Chains A and B, each alone.
Chain A
């Protein structure tokens, strides 16, 4: 079974703090994704990576950056957290070829106060 883990289930940070969200997958998947999920807005793609050190902007990259130094690990960074970044953050991974399904982690509920 594919396993995607995220470093925290719940996180509370203050406005202006730098926040790191970590994601690790154990299936040797090439592609990794960061989404945020908000009521009424569904899943929105922030960034994705199709290889180590490669990254592509998604639909809402503003205020976020990412890092992928190792194949299994993909980090989301909030450089200066703001209250409008309070959300559920979901990491996902998918294989490079064949099928296109994505496998999700449990999510991190981030609250910025």
Chain B
């Protein structure tokens, strides 16, 4: 079983829809969770950062962590064509290795 599983998509939604992106993981030691957005032919940019369980909101974006289920989600409200990108989840145990474990990314297209 891979450490982090992420549906590659592609996911296509109409403008204005609520988008749900998800990752599951197997390592119960993970405590730090990140979401990156990567536009085509660009480097990933950090979108959301969450420590341990719970929700974090930033504008139209909400990151949710459920450690009991080993499941993290990114919700995008009122999706825009500019949200079209690949979204990667990443996580770390905080044990000092400083190496993130990444999902392979979900490609999202928001259709006007």
Contacts and interface: CB of A to CB of B under 8 A. Distances in A.
Contact of B98 (A40, A50, A105): A50
Contacts of A33: 99
A88 B46 CA distance: 18
Given A48-B98, A100-B92, A102-B100, A107 B34 contact: no
Given A50-B98, A58-B99, A100-B92, A42 B43 contact: no
A105 B49 contact: no
A41 B90 CA distance: 15
A104 interface: yes
A109 B103 CA distance: 21
Q: Is the interface of B mostly helix, strand, loop or mixed?
A: loop
Contacts of B92: 100
Interface residues of B, number: 22
A43 interface: yes
B71 interface: no
Contacts of A104: 36, 43-45
Q: How big is chain A's contact interface, by range?
A: 20 to 34
Nearest to B51: A99
Contacts of A110: none
A100 B93 CA distance: 9
B60 interface: no
Interface of B: 8, 32, 34, 36, 41-46, 49, 88, 90, 92, 94, 98-100, 102-105
